[in-house]
Structure 1
Amino acid sequence: MKIGNIDFGERPLFLAPMEDVTDVGFRMLCKRFGAAMVYTEFVSADAIIRSIKSTLDKMHINDEERPVGIQIYGKDVDSMVEAAKIVESVHPDIIDINFGCPVKKVAGKGAGAGMLKNIPLLLDITREVVKAVKTPVTVKTRLGWDKENLIITDLAEQLQDCGIQALTIHGRTRSQMYTGNADWTLIKAVKDNPRIHIPIIGNGDITTPQEAEEAFDNYGVDAVMVGRATFGHPWIFQEMRQYIDAEKARKEGGTPVVPAVLTIDDKIDILEEQLRINVERIDEYRGILHTRRHLAASPIFKGIPNFRQTRIAMLRAETVEALTDILEQCRAFLKSSEKAQAESSGEAQAESGKAQA
């Protein structure tokens, strides 16, 4: 699969752009564990033009994370074109236009998914941004505004005609927000359209390696974008990549590579590294703010009894020392629990062996 001159290989996995989530520290970890493409948090065209520092900071790119896209949103042609030109000066590999954000403060003002109620303007913005920059332009959008307006099959052709070089489709309408199940059948309908020649990237409800593999097999997408399942779980890309590659080897009659399995120590170390990266990049207070929501959402802590109180403590931590102490307590508990389970399993196998004898 290629976007412009960037070759992502077969069945690539992308990190979704997410506000307050996909900062540079998190992106670098996801890249390390196999994300073929990462995106910045989405940035407002108006804020870019006004040189708002917090917005410009979100556009900082580290060469280690490339290829990387910067995603912009806005509600009029002139500001989006001007913002795209400014973004291009930062040298991202891709400029992505957000026509999919459903939150009220964005869509309610006519930007993001709000553009799905004004298709002529949506197409004008896309067309003019493509003409204004040399960087490949892509779009991320939804199936339509609501279930009575599932317009994505026609819209995909129109966006392609505007000159975009890839299209990401989240399998929900704006009215669904993030509820219900993503509908991948319409994503498949777009991909199966013989007129569509640009890559189609599927997004929505991909939380396991098996679901990623099924998205490629069942819906034919060129890439899969993973969003909320990455919270506190940047190594999910490694798990997905290993599973997809193993399935390919199995289907082709080859010998699958034995997957690398991360230990509890490995995973806690990764989360602590994310904390260090963010603190060093910004400062202690804001670095913790960027990191602690990931820690509180990490699936590795699900086995801890009454984790709710620990989660609250994580979200209230204000120093690196306090947050690290909580992580070390979690590490000690999880390793102790893991050891107890292994011993219990060993004893059970021994008893089973005696019974058979």
Structure 2
Amino acid sequence: MQIGPYLLRNNVFVAPMAGVTDRPFRQLCKQLGAGYAVSEMAASNPRLWATEKSARRTDHAGEMEPKAVQIAGADPQDLADCARFNVGRGAQIIDINMGCPVKKVCNSWCGSALLQDEALVERILNAVVRAVDVPVTLKFRTGWNRANKNALNIARIAEQAGVQMLTLHGRTRADGYAGEAEYDTIAMVKAAVKIPVVANGDITTPEKARDVLAITGADAVMIGRAAQGRPWICREIDYFLRTGTHLPAPLVDEVSALMQEHLEAHYAFYGEFLGVRTARKHIGWYVRELDGGEAFRRQMNLLESTSEQLAAVAGFFEMQQRFGERLQYRPADIDQQAMAA
């Protein structure tokens, strides 16, 4: 599929996730088969643009194209200015966040809180589309709550404003991440507009991706939490969609090398002190479904240097070779069950 001038290599995308989809992680996901990945959301408040945190979130140096930045805010002019600022820093696509359900974001009338005011949504979308000469996309939810679902109205407003792609998480803001994603709403939105629609929510396996595409008629799927610690899920889904067959589990040696590469890029991006601490969640996600993963995670969280982390990760995956040359997944809570016994 295509977004503006950018022809994407497949229709398996990685969702923007705060504290997760930084440049090293996006690059790794693209390397492992993702056709598209969007940055963590950047605040539109101009007082925050120069902060170290914001600068990192919009850093795309060396990243595979297209480079997409997600922006969040509530003021049309601030969002338009933020879009221009990020295009000036190299953003090739601007994505507007109207999907985040987090209270801190919604209390500032940002994210999915905006869905309560369709007139403001229209002003924001028109302002941002007019402000930049790159494609503008929108990520949103089905509504504020089950009694106030307005995804169809929002989709039509966005298409009229010139938004070039919609990503719809099939839940309301009130749902958070609970319950089943409502794919019927995504299907209705897809039928109502002519621009590409991306289905998001609960897509955790190749079969689920196939089924969601069939149910919704969507042009692509967006993977969120399922990519945490398993970025190769992108190539697994892409391969299954193309062939109807599964790739084997990745080789232990390959995952060990990928983790070393990811961690070294992560340390270079954040520096040693912050890098060690922010890497812990990624390492925990990588090992959570592997034998001894929970015990290893607890021990690894005590390490304070990059060299110790790298050595510990290499040692853990060397131990995984005992179970075979390919990763042997197991339920994430099996360590706790063993301890309880």
TM-score > 0.5 by shorter chain: yes
Q: Does 1:121 align with 2:124?
A: no
Runs of 4+ in 1 over 6 A off after TM superposition: none
What does residue 161 of structure 2 align with? 162
Contact 1:130–1:137 (CA under 8 A) maintained in structure 2: yes
Contact 1:17–1:39 (CA under 8 A) maintained in structure 2: yes
Deviates more, 1:276-285 or 1:99-108: 276-285
Q: Give 1:134 shift.
A: 0.6
What does residue 244 of structure 1 align with? 241
| Distance in structure 2 (CA, Å) of the matches to 1:280 and 1:261 | 29
Aligned pair partner of 1:265 in 247, 253, 256: 253
Structure 1 unaligned blocks of 5 or more: 248-255, 343-357
Structure whose CA Rg is larger: 1
Q: TM-score under structure 1 normalisation?
A: 0.86
Q: Give 1:13 shift.
A: 0.7
Q: Does 1:280 align with 2:268?
A: yes
Q: Give 1:49 shift.
A: 5.8
Q: Give 1:48 shift.
A: 6.2
| Distance in structure 1 (CA, Å) of the matches to 2:315 and 2:49 | 45
What does residue 79 of structure 2 align with? 80
What does residue 329 of structure 1 align with? 315
What does residue 19 of structure 2 align with? 20
What does residue 199 of structure 1 align with? 196
CA, structure 1 residues 180+317, in 2 after alignment: closer, same or farther (shift >3 Å)?
A: farther
Q: SS of the counterpart of 2:180?
A: coil
Q: Name the aligned partner's letter for residue 40 of structure 1.
A: S
Q: Give 1:288 shift.
A: 2.3
Q: Name the aligned partner's letter for residue 218 of structure 1.
A: I
Q: Give 1:322 shift.
A: 2.1
Q: Does 1:223 align with 2:220?
A: yes
Deviations 1:4-47 (A, max 9, x none): 111225x5111111111011111111111111111111110015
Q: SS of the counterpart of 2:144?
A: coil
| Distance in structure 1 (CA, Å) of the matches to 2:290 and 2:34 | 27
Q: Give 1:286 shift.
A: 1.9
RMSD: 2.0
Structure 2 unaligned blocks of 5 or more: 329-341
Contact 1:140–1:167 (CA under 8 A) maintained in structure 2: yes
Contact 1:13–1:37 (CA under 8 A) maintained in structure 2: yes
Q: Does 1:3 align with 2:32?
A: no
| Distance in structure 2 (CA, Å) of the matches to 1:68 and 1:317 | 34
Aligned residues: 327
What does residue 304 of structure 1 align with? 291
1:6-85 alignment runs, 5 A limit = 6-9=6-9, 12-47=11-46, 50-85=49-84
Q: Give 1:108 shift.
A: 1.4
Deviations 1:137-190 (A, max 9, x none): 000000000000111012211111111000000011000111111111100111
Deviates more, 1:98-107 or 1:116-125: 116-125
Deviations 1:39-93 (A, max 9, x none): 1111100156652232022111134421121000001112111111101101222
What does residue 140 of structure 1 align with? 139
Q: Name the aligned partner's letter for residue 302 of structure 1.
A: E
| Distance in structure 2 (CA, Å) of the matches to 1:147 and 1:121 | 21
| Distance in structure 2 (CA, Å) of the matches to 1:139 and 1:184 | 18
Q: TM-score under structure 2 normalisation?
A: 0.90
Contact 1:37–1:67 (CA under 8 A) maintained in structure 2: yes
Q: Give 1:332 shift.
A: 2.9
Q: SS of the counterpart of 2:324?
A: helix
Q: SS of the counterpart of 1:40?
A: strand
Q: Name the aligned partner's letter for residue 207 of structure 2.
A: Q
Q: Give 1:269 shift.
A: 1.5
| Distance in structure 1 (CA, Å) of the matches to 2:149 and 2:303 | 44
